[in-house]
Structure 1
Amino acid sequence: MAQLGSVFLPVVSPRDSAAWYSAVFGLAVSSIQEHAAVLDSPDREFRLTLMGPTSGIAAPPGLTWAPFSLLVTDIEAARKSLVDRDPGPITGDDRSCFWFTATDPDGNILLICDR
């Protein structure tokens, strides 16, 4: 059986981005190096690796599509906390999920969902 190990996201500064993701989404910083930072969800079921320019990642920051979704317990509160990141409207339905998009400080599109 396979499991998702980590998702990778290109950023300008792993240190600055780790601080932002930790403050906004409550992810724990596991490690910070010049080329990358690793963050874990509180339950350690989700790992985010922020890849800086010296990591050799081929994609530059500013992804125009969301490579993963972030699950939050209160979607209204999450949207309000991202008001400075130009969040889109909350959309979706009770059958699948409610969601919205916003950008991180590097311009990467984020998809925030309630389940």
Structure 2
Amino acid sequence: MSQSPMEQELPEGYRPFTAPRVLRMIYGGKTTMDELRNPVHEAETSPIKNKVGSIFVPVSDIAKSRSWYCRVLGLPETACEIMNGHLCPLPMEGTGVILDTMPLWGGDQPGGAPSIDTPAFMLMTDDLEGSLQYMKQLGVEIVTEIEHDHWFVVKDPDGNKLMICRE
């Protein structure tokens, strides 16, 4: 008769291991931030906050991009002021998004600053299917259909890939 796993002898030299923090977080343990606040991790203090202020999106035509993003996000263009001829902060909930022709980062060169070829952030929705249909109605280039019943990817007029994700 075989022994149950709890009754089996352990091999010589066996040492249990500690699950990585991320696994504990996923499976109901302490959150990563709780772990990081543990005095063991306080060897160095950084003046940099653990907080994202805004995300810059490289665009070639600031006015055209402002119109596109305002239509996609349902914002009035009057709420999105173009600043210094190359910046347009979008009023967002949470982390900010700033459209930028990026003159210091190649935007003043032919072809402009390189676009974001891998989605760098997500725009959230409560209606994933409705959001996909809305983007199609606007004539937005669809990169993927809905994947895993959770997200899809589109391109803005500059080829930046944006992920739309179920909240």
TM-score (norm 1): 0.80
Which residue of 11, 22, 32 maps to 2:82?
Answer: 32
- Given that residues 5 and 47 in structure 1 are in contact (C-alpha distance below 8 angstroms), is that contact kept between their aligned partners in structure 2? yes
Which residue of 102, 123, 134 maps to 1:81?
Answer: 134
- Given that residues 58 and 99 in structure 2 are in contact (C-alpha distance below 8 angstroms), is that contact kept between their aligned partners in structure 1? yes
Report the Cα offset of residue 114 of structure 1. 0.8
Query: Whole-Å Cα distance in 2 between the matches of residues 58 and 100 of structure 1?
Result: 29
- Which structure has more relative contact order (CA 8 Å, sep 6+)? It is 1
* Equivalent residue, structure 2, for 1:16: 64
Query: Whole-Å Cα distance in 2 between the matches of residues 79 and 14 of structure 1?
Result: 25
* Equivalent residue, structure 1, for 2:42: none
* Equivalent residue, structure 1, for 2:99: 50
The number of residue pairs the alignment matches comes to 108
Question: Is 1:106 aligned to residue 158 of structure 2?
Answer: yes
Query: Whole-Å Cα distance in 2 between the matches of residues 68 and 58 of structure 1?
Result: 22
Query: Whole-Å Cα distance in 2 between the matches of residues 58 and 5 of structure 1?
Result: 23
Report the Cα offset of residue 107 of structure 1. 0.8
Greater Rg over alpha carbons, structure:
2
Q: Among the aligned pairs, what percent are the same residue? A: 30
Report the Cα offset of residue 47 of structure 1. 1.2
* Partner SS for 1:32: coil
Which moves more between the two structures, 26-35 or 76-85?
26-35
5+ unaligned residues in a row in structure 2: which ranges?
Answer: 1-48, 108-112
Query: Whole-Å Cα distance in 2 between the matches of residues 61 and 38 of structure 1?
Result: 19
5+ unaligned residues in a row in structure 1: which ranges?
Answer: none
- Given that residues 141 and 156 in structure 2 are in contact (C-alpha distance below 8 angstroms), is that contact kept between their aligned partners in structure 1? no
Report the Cα offset of residue 53 of structure 1. 4.2
* Equivalent residue, structure 1, for 2:37: none
Report the Cα offset of residue 36 of structure 1. 1.0
Query: Whole-Å Cα distance in 1 between the matches of residues 57 and 153 of structure 2?
Result: 16
More strand by share: 1
Report the Cα offset of residue 61 of structure 1. 4.2
User: Runs in 1 of length 4+ with deviation above 4 angstroms?
Assistant: none
TM-score (norm 2): 0.58
